[in-house]
Chains A and B, each alone.
Chain A
Amino acid sequence: MLSMQNISKVFTTDSVQTHALREFSLEIDEGDFVSVTGPSGSGKTTFLNIAGLLEDSTSGAYRLDGEDISGLGDKERSRLRNEKIGFIFQSFNLIPELDIFDNIDVPLRYRGLKANERRQRIEQAINTVGLGSRASHLPTQLSGGQQQRVAIARALAGEPRFLLADEPTGNLDSQMAEGVMELLEEINAAGTTIIMVTHEQFLAQRARRNIFIRDGRVSTDKSDTSLKAAASA
């Protein structure tokens, strides 16, 4: 589903070249729940940005859902982001002057769906995250956990093939974080592939696959079976 081969990303300033990713290779299958951990500056967010088509790699090959990404123009990349990827960010990234309904509506607008279909999808997504009664609220009227649920609903409404979550619980207390994690697990159980970047080991271990990045490379890659084996030993 997601295939990266020898991806490199170099940030160049006048005097310094920073290698964020080096010869980074990774395969992720459909329906997987992958956690990505690593120290600060290891390249986790750069990986997520490239996976989410928010940034170009400097070199290497990237195929998303069988489609070669290299050489795609802005329109095609935007279409892929809109139709196949759902984003969940640490700071929720809701638009403060839009109510919950309209925030969830944003990606659907860019897909050009008719009003009726948009409404159905939005209502279904809001109900999925348990905020059915809050559709007309502004983000500032919700708690952090609720805001993150709205962000998840926004991602779900587009019925993406996979979700990219960047520290989805980073701004939440443990109770709210637990709620969000349970929601992500439900979504994954329903068939959506999830890639989650996190600092928290205990959250990472709830994923079926745990990737550890160091110095821009995959340092360890433990799948569900190896994790269970390690746990039982």
Chain B
Amino acid sequence: MLTYYIKLGLLSIRKNPVLSALMIAAIAVGIGACMTIVTINYIMGGNPIPHKSDNLYYVQLDSWDPDEPAEEPNEPPRQVTYIDATALLAAGKASRQVVSYRTVRVVEPEVKDQLPFTANTRSTTADFFAMFDVPFLFGSGWDKAADDSLEQVAVLSRDMNEQLFGGENSVGKQVTMNGEQYRVTGVLDNWIPVPKYYDVTTGAFNDPEEIYFPFSISIANEVSGDGNTNCWKPIDDGGFSAFLNSECVWMQMWVELNSESEKTSYLSFMDAYVDSQKLLGRFPRPLNNRLSNVEEWLINQEVVDEDAQVLLGLAILFLIVCLLNTIGLLLAKIMRRAGEIGLRRALGATKGAMFSQQIVEAGIIGLSGGILGVGMTWLGLRAIERLFEGVSFIEHLVSMDWVMVLSAVILAIVSALLAALYPTWRACNIQPASQIKAQ
């Protein structure tokens, strides 16, 4: 009977093209508005590294002011000090560990007619690439030995390699940053983690950096950070070295821990480290160290903006309004067809058969609305892209994947079926006797 109901549904849509088009449009507009916002929320709140997000932990040590927390109610600072980062790094208690901070460097191209330009760069330790599963187009990252021996090496993003070397394999070539020569060890393939979880302090939806170079050489060359730096104590005089020894937090630290027991051990190690520092007069606050996996960290940092969630609520309300309109239109359509419904009942259709027929038709309308809704969503996302043109991260938020396309279609069908329940119930209860004579 399903094929029969589908055939009847299609005939009915053809018979009432205006009403049907209005219903499909109402669903499509509602789905389009809703899915545009849902898509943005979905991407903002998505897990950027699902296969290992439970093994990557962001490190927080509460080295802050004894009189007030870094953030209410009792949050430790979002970053760590140089002293603590290097101490934990040197202890090597995790299978992989990364300390990094964002910098800005002036790149001097080898090509004569290209002018020097500033590039967003990241100073990091060797494990960065393996820990975050960064894909390589050419070569690889550097190793720990390069970190230890202060080698001037670098990894380029695909775009930067395109800009400096025309996209060729540049491994072994030299890049000049702030007058210092770095040997290229690798070129990344396209890599745009959304959100940019490894450093949300510099904007969770900003582009990843264009050049990566060793943390050790960065410190040796006194390269200061370009991200957030927060201090609760004044810095002593003494330039970069005094800054390194200050209580200012400005680096991000991640560790890879492969089991719950490794996590417990590492947290104990962090607590023991802080206890040892307390003996030296540091860490005046009670123990409040944290290890947060990727998802916990993104939630903690409220990466999905509250405004986006309000907008989501409004979009859902809009969808409901569209569905109410659809209910009205479906009712009008069914009342128009009361004669046919009465006739079918007279000829032997049960209420169940009439219910199935109407629901299948609503499903077809929902499916059509869903397909059109995907198009509306695409238009909505393009409109947002145009509206926020120039905002660097927006392009990462306005793309649809298959999950969202499928979700849009399913949501449209479910919405249409829900909208059809009351009109269908009315259709099932049409009295054949009263309709047949009137037809």
Chain A residues with a Cβ under 8 A of chain B: 45, 49, 52, 54-55, 74-75, 78-79, 81-83, 87, 89, 91, 93, 95-98, 106-107, 109-112, 154, 158, 166
Could you tell me which residues of chain B, from 334 to 369, have a CB within 8 Å of some CB in chain A? 339-340, 343-353
Q: Nearest CB to that of A79 among chain B residues?
A: B348
Taking a contact as CB atoms under 8 Å apart, the answer to whether B343 and A93 are in contact is yes
Taking a contact as CB atoms under 8 Å apart, the answer to whether A74 and B348 are in contact is no
Taking a contact as CB atoms under 8 Å apart, the answer to whether A54 and B436 are in contact is yes
> Which B residues are CB-close (under 8 A) to A83?
348
Taking a contact as CB atoms under 8 Å apart, the answer to whether B1 and A74 are in contact is no
Q: Tell me which of B343, B350, B437 contacts A95 (CB under 8 A).
A: B343
> Which B residues are CB-close (under 8 A) to A55?
431, 433
Taking a contact as CB atoms under 8 Å apart, the answer to whether A87 and B14 are in contact is no
Knowing A93-B339, A109-B4, say if A87 contacts B347 (CB, 8 Å). yes
Taking a contact as CB atoms under 8 Å apart, the answer to whether B347 and A91 are in contact is no
Question: Which of B339, B347, B349: most chain A CB closer than 10 A?
Answer: B347
A158, chain B: closest CB distance, angstroms:
8
Taking a contact as CB atoms under 8 Å apart, the answer to whether B15 and A97 are in contact is yes
Knowing A78-B348, A89-B436, A110-B348, say if A97 contacts B14 (CB, 8 Å). yes
What CA separation (Å) do A75 and B1 show in the bound complex?
17
> Which B residues are CB-close (under 8 A) to A91?
439
Q: Nearest CB to that of A78 among chain B residues?
A: B350
> Which A residues are CB-close (under 8 A) to B437?
45, 89, 166
Knowing A89-B436, A97-B11, say if A81 contacts B343 (CB, 8 Å). no
Knowing A95-B340, A97-B15, A109-B1, say if A54 contacts B348 (CB, 8 Å). no
Chain B residues with a Cβ under 8 A of chain A: 1, 4, 11-12, 14-15, 339-340, 343-353, 431-433, 436-437, 439
B19, chain A: closest CB distance, angstroms:
14
Question: Which of A74, A79, A81, A93: most chain B CB closer than 10 A?
Answer: A93
Knowing A55-B433, A95-B340, say if A106 contacts B347 (CB, 8 Å). yes
Q: Besides the contacts A81-B348, A82-B348, A89-B439, what 15 more A-B pairs have beta carbons closer than 8 Å? A: A54-B431, A54-B432, A54-B433, A54-B436, A55-B433, A78-B351, A87-B346, A93-B436, A95-B340, A97-B14, A98-B11, A106-B344, A109-B4, A110-B350, A154-B347
Q: Nearest CB to that of A98 among chain B residues?
A: B11
B143, chain A: closest CB distance, angstroms:
72
A47, chain B: closest CB distance, angstroms:
11
> Which A residues are CB-close (under 8 A) to B339?
93
What CA separation (Å) do A49 and B436 show in the bound complex?
10
Taking a contact as CB atoms under 8 Å apart, the answer to whether B345 and A78 are in contact is yes
A151, chain B: closest CB distance, angstroms:
10
What CA separation (Å) do A52 and B436 show in the bound complex?
12
Knowing A97-B14, A97-B15, say if A81 contacts B346 (CB, 8 Å). yes
> Which A residues are CB-close (under 8 A) to B352?
75
Q: Tell me which of B12, B14, B347, B351 contacts A82 (CB under 8 A).
A: B347
